[in-house]
Amino acid sequence: MLFFYEIFELLIITNYKDKVSKFNIFYDNFLKNNVEWDKNNAIKTLEKPSYSDFCTIILPKNQHKRKYLDTIDGKKQLLHTIAHIEYSAIDLALDACYRFRDMPMNYYEDWLEVANDEVRHFLMLEKLMDEVGVKYGDYPVHTNLFEAMKKTPILLERMAVVPRFLEANGLEQNPKIMEKLKSNKDEFNLKIINALEIILEEEIDHVRKGDRWFKYECDKLGLNHQDTYLDILEKHYPKSTKNSKELNFEARKRAGFSCDELKILSNKTECS
C-alpha cells in the first residue's frame, strides 16, 4: 500500500461512508507497517472540499443563527454543525500527513491517530443525528476549515493555524455549549454532553500534537516559538491576537500553551 498515494485517494473520496470505511482499512495497514513510503509521489492541490458533492456550501455570514437548544430543530442544527467540524477535521489530519514529507515517523503516527479520533467523533455524532432524524448534508455548511488548509501549505503555518488556533478555539466553545445543554438536562441533552466531553478531552491532545510539531519546526528553523506564533496569527487572522477573550487556561496549558502566550491572548496579567 503506497502511503501518500492512498492518503490522497482518501482525501478526494466524496462519499463519507466510503471515506470512513476505507480509512479504517488504511489505518489498520499503517499500524501493521504494511505501507510503502512513496515520498516522491507528486503533491497535488485539493481544489474543493470532499463534502462539496453532498453539502450545500454557503458563506459563514449567511448561516442561520442556531435555534434554541431546547428545541429539536436546535439540537439537529447543533449536532450537524459539530459533525461538519469533525468531518472537516478528518481531511485536515489526512492532509497534514499527505502534504508534508520527510517528517519523523511519529509525525505521521500523530496525525493518523488524530484522523482516527475525528472519524470516531463523527460516527458518534452521526449516531446522535440519526436519533433525531437528521443526516450529514441536511443543513448548509461553510468551508472555513478547508480554506484554512488551503492557505497554509507550509508546515509551520499549518501547525500554528489549524491545531494551535482554530482547534484550540474549540477548547472554549465546547464547554460553553455544554453549559447551555446542562440548563435543560433532558435525556438526549445528556447524550450530547457525553459526546462533547469525549471530544473536548481528545481535542486537547490534538492541540498538544499541533503544539509539538509547531515547536519542532520552529526549533528546526531557529525561530522563537511565541513571536512566530503571534506573527502567523496576525498574518492570517489580523487583530486576532489583540482582541482579548476568555480562554480555557487549564485546557490550553495542558495542550502546550505557555503562560506568557495565554496572558497576551487574553489580555490578562495572571495565568490562572
- Distance of alpha carbon 163 from alpha carbon 229, whole angstroms: 12
Alpha-carbon gap, residue 150 to 165, rounded angstroms:
15
The residue written with cell numbers 474543493 in the block is 48
| Contacts within 8 Å (CB) and 24+ apart, 183-191 | 184/69, 184/70, 188/75, 188/128, 188/131, 188/132, 189/69, 189/75, 191/128, 191/131
Is the pLDDT at 241 greater than 90? The verdict is no
Q: Where are the domains of the chain?
A: 3-266
Give residue-wise pLDDT tens across range 208-226.
999 999 999 999 999 999 9
Of 218, 204, 200, give the one whose Cα is nearest residue 253.
204
Q: What is the pLDDT of residues 33-73, one digit of tens each?
A: 999 999 899 999 998 999 999 999 987 766 666 556 778 88
Q: Rounded to whole angstroms, how far apart are CA atoms 140 and 125? A: 17
Q: For the range 265-268, what are the long-range contacts, defined as Cβ-Cβ under 8 Å and sequence gap of 24 or more?
A: 265/241, 268/244
Residue recorded with cell 491532545? 205
pLDDT digits (tens, 9 = 90+) for 138-175: 999 999 999 999 999 999 999 999 999 999 999 999 99
In terms of CATH architecture, what is 3-266? Up-down Bundle (1.20)
Write out the three cell numbers for 6.
Answer: 492512498
Per-residue cell: 110: 500523530
Partners of residue 2 on adjacent β-strands:
36
- Report the mean per-residue pLDDT for the chain: 93
What b/e string do you get for 151-169 counting C-beta neighbours within 10 Å, with b at 16 or more?
Answer: ebeebbbbbbbbbbbbbbe
Burial of 38 (0-12, 13-18, 19+ CB in 10 A): middle
Measured in degrees and rounded to the nearest 5, phi and psi for residue 36 equal -110, 140
The pTM for the full model equals 0.95
Residue 151 DSSP symbol: T
**Contacts (Cβ under 8 Å, ≥6 apart) of 170:** 85, 200, 203
According to the model, what pLDDT value does residue 239 have? Answer: 87
Q: Is 138 helix (H, G, I), strand (E, B) or coil?
A: coil
Q: How many CA atoms lie within 13 A of 71 on its CB side?
A: 6
Query: Which of 245 and 85 is assigned the larger pLDDT?
Result: 85
Q: Which of 119, 99, 91, 46 is nearest to 213 (CA)?
A: 99
